[in-house]
Chains A and B, each alone.
Chain A
Amino acid sequence: QQQVKQSPQSLIVQKGGIPIINCAYENTAFDYFPWYQQFPGKGPALLIAIRPDVSEKKEGRFTISFNKSAKQFSLHIMDSQPGDSATYFCAASYQGGSEKLVFGKGTKLTVNP
């Protein structure tokens, strides 16, 4: 199974809230899990990535939590700001495979002032 399932499809929070976006995968060979952020009119850009040897990774206000046994990973945005309004994609791939990423379908996040 190559699929990565992402939820929710859209999310609206107030400024300062903590939006959480969830992803689940089936292929246990996956060992690289990046998140991409896309602003309107722009291509996606890497936000943060994790490998399964750690359960959490933080970069600024963005945190990935990883649960290997459940085959799930999630993105948390602390103290969200209107400038965080964007579409977020989770993805997965594995060493020894090609360099292809399998993307989730995306979550459109709106942070209201």
Chain B
Amino acid sequence: DVKVTQSSRYLVKRTGEKVFLECVQDMDHENMFWYRQDPGLGLRLIYFSYDVKMKEKGDIPEGYSVSREKKERFSLILESASTNQTSMYLCASSKRLAGLQETQYFGPGTRLLVL
């Protein structure tokens, strides 16, 4: 079974803090994604990585950065947390097959509260 794990289920941070969210997958997937999920807004893509050290902006990258130093690990960084970044953060991974779409496998999510 594919397993995508996220370092924390719940986090409480203060405004202005630097926040690191970690995601690890164990299936040797090339692609990794970070989404945020808000009620009524669905899943919105923050960043996407298709290889080590490669990244691509999603729909809402402002206020976030990412790091992918190893294939299995993808980190989301909130440089200076703000209250409007309070949300559920979901990590996903998928295999890369040329010309085909592969299933994205999601982690359980990290619920972040910024005070």
Contacts and interface: CB of A to CB of B under 8 A. Distances in A.
A69 interface: no
A49 B104 CA distance: 12
Contacts of B31: 99
Interface of A: 6, 9, 32, 34, 36, 41-46, 49, 89, 93, 95-96, 98-101, 103-106
Given A44-B90, A106-B42, A95 B101 contact: yes
Contact of B48 (A32, A100, A103): A100
B102 A99 contact: yes
Contacts of A98: 48, 50, 56
Interface centre among B43, B44, B56, B102 (most CB of A within 10 A): B43
B109 A43 contact: yes
30 contacts: A9-B40, A34-B101, A34-B103, A41-B108, A42-B109, A43-B4, A43-B92, A43-B108, A43-B109, A44-B43, A44-B106, A45-B105, A45-B106, A46-B103, A46-B104, A49-B103, A89-B42, A89-B43, A93-B101, A95-B99, A98-B48, A98-B50, A99-B48, A99-B94, A99-B102, A101-B101, A104-B42, A105-B40, A105-B42, A106-B43
In terms of DSSP, what is the predominant structure of the interface of chain B? strand
Interface residues of B, number: 28
A43 B42 contact: no
Nearest to B42: A105
Nearest to A101: B104
B97 to A, nearest CB: 9
Contacts of B48: 98-100
Given A93-B101, A100-B48, A103-B42, 8 more contacts: A43-B90, A44-B43, A46-B103, A49-B103, A95-B99, A99-B102, A100-B45, A101-B101
A45 to B, nearest CB: 7
B38 to A, nearest CB: 10
